[in-house]
Structure formats: structure tokens, C-alpha cells
Structure 1
Amino acid sequence: MIGKVKKWLGIEGVKMELILEEDATAQKGMVSGTIRFTSMNSQVVTKVKVVFIERYSRGRGKDKLVDEYELGAIELHEDIVVPAGEAEEVEFNLSYNLVRSEMDEMEKSNFLLSPFIKAAKRISAVKSEYRIEAEAKVKGTALNPFDRKEVKI
């Protein structure tokens, strides 16, 4: 009985680790990586979803606004058998498109306005943070394993 509950909740089940390449750049538009699955019991992963997200924040204190944008996503629909006590790895390539604001475009195109735009962004506390999230669907479990990694661009 306890074994069934543990399996259903994902306890002692599949654990996933997201391993990314070090040099994710905006010009490249692609992030490559590997997802490593490990488990104490033999299980089957039926689907993996990998998403590239930008967290865009601006403002300070109670006037702070935060938005999240999905820049790219892939879904892998394949059965991945994760044997007990062994690691199973799946490689992926995730393409993405960075979204630039009008201020960012003006900063890049006009070198005379660039210092003023940078100062305005610093005063307004404009900041973008990027991350990759992965979630797997495991056959017979209610809670899905996931992992998240920060990406520098």
C-alpha cells in the first residue's frame, strides 16, 4: 500500500537534472542541453516539455511590475525507459527568439543616445533574467518531476 502511494506521488521515482551548455548567446538563438533522468524504481517518462522564459522586471517597491515571456519551447513525445539505479540521458536543442523593446533597439542603433537610455533603464530598475524550465510526465504518477536553470545572455 505504501509503495503504491510513493509511486503515485513520485517519491523514490524519477528525478530529473537539466544540464545546459555554458555559452547561450542572443546571436546564436539556440540552447543545447541534456536532461538526465535517474530513479530508484524502473519507470517510463512519456513526455518532456522544455521552455525558455524571460522574466522582465521594472520599477521599484510597490510600483514594481514583473512580466514573464515564453521565448521558445519544445516537447519531446517519446517513451524513455528509466531503469532502476541507472541514469538515462536525452539531448535537446531549443531555439528561441529574444524580444527587444523599443528602448533596447534605440540603444543598439544610436550610439549618441545609448548612455542616456542606459541611465534611464538603471533609474527605472529595468532588468531581464532568463531561465530554462523542464518538466517530465511520468507514467502512473500524479506529481511530475521538474528542473529549472538560470541562463546568462
Structure 2
Amino acid sequence: MTLNLSKTLFFFSFIFINNLFANTFVDKNITGVITDINNIPLPYASVVVDGTSLGTNSNLDGVFSIYLPDGNYTLTISYLGYQDEKKVIPGESFYLMEAYFAPDMMRLNYTFWNFLKKDILYNGKKQSQLGFMAKELRMRKIKMVNTFMVLLKKRKK
């Protein structure tokens, strides 16, 4: 009986000490919502604490939460196709923030054209993706269609 009591006491004291140290080193909760300029949530945006290896991602609703020791921090928030946002977080124990992103068309165009410029290996020959796609469309005799006009014609019927 005393063995069970000592095990139970040890277990609860371990939990208590663990929580005591956890609260000592992690005091700050930073929670935020990441949206674009039209207030649409941006899921899986990256949130990184500058100068550290700490970070997190937003969920499907654009909400993120990160726990840090007390102090002032700068968060860098990034999302593909949008300009990076830097936010300075003051040394409060709880901080709620919002980040609004504007699209970065230069980055989107650069990413798309870099993708098309890459070479691929097809039948042992090096070809550009753009040329390969055009050749493949011609070989399959796929006709280019103006989808806007097709939709307009269907609507008139």
C-alpha cells in the first residue's frame, strides 16, 4: 500500500514540477489571424520568429498560435504569391494580431516563368517545358478553345 502511495505522490510531484518549469520558460502566447486584403483567410501561411528556428503555420481558417518566452520579437509571415509581412510583437504575456496580405504579382509571374523555363528530359533529349507542351498539343491535335465564348453561347440557349 505504501508503495502505491509513494508512486502516486512521485507522479503528482513530477507533474507539478513539470508544469512549474514549463510556465517559467514559456510565458507568451501570440495568436493571430492571417487574411488577404479582402479578409479571406490564408490557410497554411508560414509564421517564423526572426533570429530563431521557431515557427508555426496557420490552420484552415488562417489562425495561428505560438508560445514564446517573454520578450520582444519580430515575426515574418509568408504565403506563396503574397508579399512577406513583418510584425513587431511587444513584450506582453498575450498578444492578438491580424495580418493582411497584398498579392505579389511579380513573385507569381517569376515563379510561373521559372517553372516554364526549366528543361526536361524526354526520349533522351533535353527540351524546354514550354516547347514540349506546345509540341505535345500539336501532336494530339488539341484545338484551342475560347472558353468564355463557349460559356456565353451555352447561356443564350
Instruction: Answer whether TM exceeds 0.5 for this pair.
Output: no
More strand by share: 1
Q: Which has the larger radius of gyration?
A: 2
TM-score, normalisation: structure 1: 0.33
More helix by share: 2
Q: Which has the higher contact order (CA 8 A, sep 6+)?
A: 1
TM-score, normalisation: structure 2: 0.32
